[in-house]
Amino acid sequence: MVLESMKMENYVYAPAAGEVKKIFVGPADGVEAGDTLVTLDVAKAEDSKKEGGND
């Protein structure tokens, strides 16, 4: 995920691979350190690997 602030891009990396289940912020929303931006379904990513998916 890339967050933009004052024309600077900040990359945010997930702690694990997964499928985004819910997005809690939208364009132009302000966020602070520690805010939840998305929730991930890590199990779906693991299932996809086992089935040979290329996600």
Query: Domain locations in the chain?
Result: 15-55
The 8-class DSSP code of residue 34 comes to T
Cα–Cα distance, 4 to 50 (Å, whole number): 35
- Within its chain, how far is the Cα of 4 from the centroid? 15
The C-alpha angle 21, 23, 25, rounded to 5 degrees, equals 170
52 vs 18, more confident: 18
Cα–Cα distance, 8 to 52 (Å, whole number): 37
pLDDT, tens only, 24-54: 999 889 888 899 999 999 886 666 666 665 5
pLDDT, tens only, 6-16: 788 888 888 88
Q: Has residue 55 got a pLDDT over 60?
A: no
